[in-house]
Amino acid sequence: MKKVIVLTGAGVSAESGISTFRDNGGLWEQYDVEQVCTPEGWTKDPSLVTQFYNLRRKQLLQVKPCQAHYLLAELEKDYHVAIITQNVDNLHEQAGSSNVIHLHGELMKVTSSLQPNNEKYIRTLDADNPEVKIGDLAEDGSQLRPFIVWFGEPVPQIEMAAEISSLADIYVIIGTSLNVYPAAGLTQFVPDGCPIYLIDPKPVKWNSNRPFTHIMKGASEGMKELMELLKSKK
């Protein structure tokens, strides 16, 4: 079976009702990113950061996967599919996708403040009890922090994502501005001759000499069109 590698961004989750950071009305208009999405913000006010992510988890637990999530899971019937996502929600998994790489961490997980990427200390929160309090400690005795890759932190999964991108027979980009690095650089690893499909309702300023097919629709409508295109090329 051919390998379909998919890079997803906030535009997919937005259709499920999750606020995006970058669009009008997004979370960055309500919170200062420096306060809640940086190691410095955490050091300065861990209580504020903890509260912010508690609110984000509550929001996540109130939404469901959109049709695009389900259609991506459906692709696994005919292809080997790997999803590389910049999103921290678990909606791809809820929809049934079995191979998801989270570049920026996972919202429903928490970890050690001292060793955030040590697998020994990463734990998944129960949906019935998604809140973290100051004083809740990891096994190494440090305050639990969100298992999120903040601005200024290394992206542990980026090398794996680059390697997977290099194996693509078909590459699909959905709902991302291709402005956030290092994720936006993954397209450099896509093999020559591999068709690239970009699903986004807005014009995308992608500085690439690679030919690509731009499906100018939202994630779900765009995925419907892509499924038809892939069927026609079988």
| 134-168 pLDDT tens trace | 999 999 999 999 999 999 999 999 999 999 999 99
Distance separating alpha carbons of residues 152 and 133, to the nearest angstrom = 24
Say if 23 falls within a structural domain. no
Catalytic, out of 80, 92, 104, 214:
104
For residue 218, the enclosing domain spans 1-18+65-104+155-234
pLDDT at 31: 73
- Residue 104 bears catalytic tag: yes
- Please tell me whether the peptide bond between 182 and the residue prior to it is cis, using omega within 30 degrees of 0: yes
Average pLDDT over residues 10-16: 92
Q: What is the mean pLDDT of residues 60-79?
A: 96
Same domain flag for 12 and 54: no
Q: What letter does residue 27 receive in the DSSP assignment?
A: G
Does position 130 have pLDDT exceeding 70, yes or no? Answer: yes
Q: Which domain CATH number covers 186?
A: 3.40.50.1220
Say whether both 55 and 97 belong to one domain. no
- Whether 3 shows a pLDDT value over 60: the answer reads yes
Span 195-229, pLDDT tens digits: 999 999 988 777 667 888 999 999 999 999 999 99
For the chain, how many structural domains are there in total? 2
Residue 211 has a pLDDT of 86
pLDDT of res. 90: 97
Residue 102 has pLDDT above 90, yes or no: yes
Same domain, 54 and 69: no
Domain ends where: 119, 148, 177? Answer: 148
Q: Are residues 74 and 166 in the same domain?
A: yes
Average pLDDT of the residues of the chain: 91
Is the separation of the CB atoms in 200 and 216 below 8 Å? yes
Averaged pLDDT, 108-117 = 97
CA–CA separation, 100 vs 81, rounded Å? 9
CA distance 141 to 159: 30
Asked whether 57 and 130 are in contact (CB, 8 A), the reply is yes
- Looking up residue 136, the CATH number of its domain turns out to be 3.30.1600.10
Instruction: Give the pLDDT of residue 29.
Output: 57
